[in-house]
Structure 1
Amino acid sequence: MLTRHAATSGHDTLLPEIRLHAEATIDYFQRNRRFMRFVDTRQKWLLVHLIAVTCENAGEGPVDGAAANWICGRASDLGIASRNTALAFFNQLAAYGYLERKNHLGDRRIKLISLAQATERALADWTRMLVEIVAGRDAGALDHEALMAIYLGAAKTLLEDARWVGAPLDVALTQDMRGGWLVMAEILRHLAQRATGEPWIPAPGLSIPAMTASFGLSRSTLYRLVRVSVEAGIMAWETRRSVSTLMLNVYHVRQYSRWIDKQLDAVSVAHERVIGERSSALTTTVTRPCTTGAIAPGREINARTLI
């Protein structure tokens, strides 16, 4: 996917796929604005993935959900967030209806949490977006059950990848600031497509006031994110004839592309596995006399082709 272009001298070969991801990300935000008010950083996304995967594993037995304290401890072990940070985030999600809390039937001191239906819908929509990117076609035929199966498979794979959880410093810097992933997506949409061989890529037409109105972020938040990125060498300002243009470092584009590519690869593998399992369930073996135009004895046919 994206990584096959990561060693090229220019950035133009990276842009078609990474720009598609950026545009789809912004469309997803517009469809799920309320949910994204709370899950607006990489750290919070990782915590949501951890809740989903842990609850799925716990769901194999009689327990409905997973212990909040256990998930907080797991988040701390993985280096995602401290126990207090994770618990505060869980309480916020529960207060707005994105997590369900229940008492453990065997021990009322244990609080169980699980994803609410609203959260599952948002995650299924996120998965549909990624499937359409990797498959290159509409994923409308996939039902909610299939999308959640793909999501859980991809989330498990990503959480087991220490290099994805612990993203490169420059990627983590932009993705762990409030609204950073949206700003990054908007910048990628505006990057000049022609590679010049320069270490910096201009993003002409990018407007911070426009992002303020579109994403519901304050100007101070956006300028702070840009300022910190400039100090870290990820972004820079170029001023010509009193017009300032934001520039993005080519190295960061490649780093970000590799990080996104791992996400897309995990979804692609999970998608193929789920579709393969469903196809196997629909496959039947038909045996009939072999005549002209007939199906050969023992040949397998997919039931989808008979509809």
Structure 2
Amino acid sequence: MAFTAEQLAQNPSFVVSIRFLAGQMRGLFDAGPRLARLLASHQRWLLTQTAYALHLEYNPQDPTSGFTAVRLTGKITAHKVASRNTVLAFIEELFTYRFITHTPGDERRRPRHFEPAEVSHQAMFGWLHSNLGALDLIDGGNRAAFLRENPLLFRQIQPRVAYNCLEDGNWREPPEQVAMFLWTEAGGMVIDHFMSRLDLEGADLSRLAIGKVETRALAGDFMMSRTHLQRLLAKGAQRGCVGWYDEKKSQLWMSRDFLTEYVGWQAIKFAYVDEAFEWAKVQLESADA
């Protein structure tokens, strides 16, 4: 049985899984910074996951299927995630940096179909594998290993996760404090960085230590302006989400209230990942029976 979002949010081990995934996402960023930025804000996460899901549905016999500008725009604008112009600019960026290509033979056809480049396939598979590995930490499961042994399951799991997340307003619209970070450019990378360094053993009932944060170095690392990062941290401090232990603003903390809100929101996606994995596994076992 797959975990529900409520079960995950209430499980004391779940925050360790989130910290693990945050570390994995940092590794993805280090391996390919420009590609990793596609998942670095919530809007881009939704755009990327939806575009990939559309691609996996492509049927050469049906020209209306697959990843086209019209189909992605329709999905995204229907849920008010982004404007048509934003979607088209996003596709242009993917194409410019060769994260997607035209489907062979479609270069001059209408509608043009796009497909992910190999580096994009690897990154999305790595994202799913890391999420399953994070779930395994909770119950000692073998989801990640099972996916490695049955990689074709990925084609069933990813679209199911993407569409469930897109259609769930609680995931699509993060809680206010989380949204303050996640809807901003590179905000997702900042939160992942903080989560990966979180000291979960501290005795303070209201705060958890993140450790030393040098804004100039971190901003350069994430290819964002230092002013943008400082403004983001100042907003977070105003709301009590994060703050500094010292006047020099080097030692940072995160509030337990913010962590609880973030964990509850992440539980929604993780529950959809677990549900899609269990569903795909049953489909596979039924076909083998």
- Fold shared by both chains (TM-score > 0.5): yes
Matching residue of 1:226: 233
Unaligned runs of 5+ in 2: none
Structure 2 residue 258 is matched with structure 1 residue 252: yes
Alignment of 1:1-307 (within 5 A): 3-4=6-7, 6=9, 15-59=15-59, 61-63=61-63, 65-101=66-102, 108-136=109-137, 137=142, 138-139=144-145, 141-194=148-201, 196=203, 198-212=205-219, 214-239=221-246, 244-283=250-289
- Aligned-residue sequence identity (percent) comes to 22
- Judged with a 3 Å threshold, the aligned counterparts in structure 2 of structure 1 residues 229 and 119 are, in CA distance, closer, same or farther, namely same
Gap runs ≥5 in structure 1: 284-307
Q: Aligned with 1:203: secondary structure?
A: strand
Q: What are the superposed Cα offsets for residues 264-303 of structure 1, whole Å, 9 maximum, x if unpaired? A: 11111111222222233334xxxxxxxxxxxxxxxxxxxx
State the superposition RMSD in angstroms: 3.1
- Name the TM-score, length of structure 1 as normaliser: 0.77
Of Structure 1 and Structure 2, which has the larger fraction of its residues in strand?
1
Q: Point out the more displaced range, 78-87 or 223-232.
A: 223-232
Q: Note the C-alpha offset of 1:19.
A: 1.7
| Paired amino acid for 2:26 | I
Q: Give every structure 1 segment of 4 or more consecutive aligned residues whose post-TM-superposition deviation is greater than 6 Å.
A: none
Which string of whole-angstrom CA distances, capped at 9 and with x for unpartnered residues, describes residues 159-217 of structure 1? 22121111112212211222212221222233332454643333233443453464444
Figure out how many residues of one structure are paired with residues of the other and give that number: 278
Q: How far off is 1:13 after superposition?
A: 5.9
Cα pair distance change 1:227/1:166, threshold 3 Å: same
- 2:42 and 2:55 map into 1 onto residues whose CA distance is 20
Alpha-carbon separation, structure 2, partners of 1:245 and 1:198: 18
Contact persistence 1:159–1:165 (CA under 8 A) = yes
Letter in 1 for 2:23: E
Cα displacement (A) at 1:260: 1.3
The one-letter amino acid paired with 1:55 is: H
* TM-score, length-scaled by structure 2: 0.81
Q: Which moved more, 1:61-70 or 1:150-159?
A: 61-70
| Distance in structure 2 (CA, Å) of the matches to 1:40 and 1:280 | 37
Whose RCO is larger (CA < 8 A, sep 6+)? 2
Hey, which of these two has a bigger chunk of helix by percent? Answer: 2
Q: Which has the larger radius of gyration?
A: 1
Shift in Å, 1:130: 0.8
The residue matched to 2:252 in structure 1 has which SS? strand
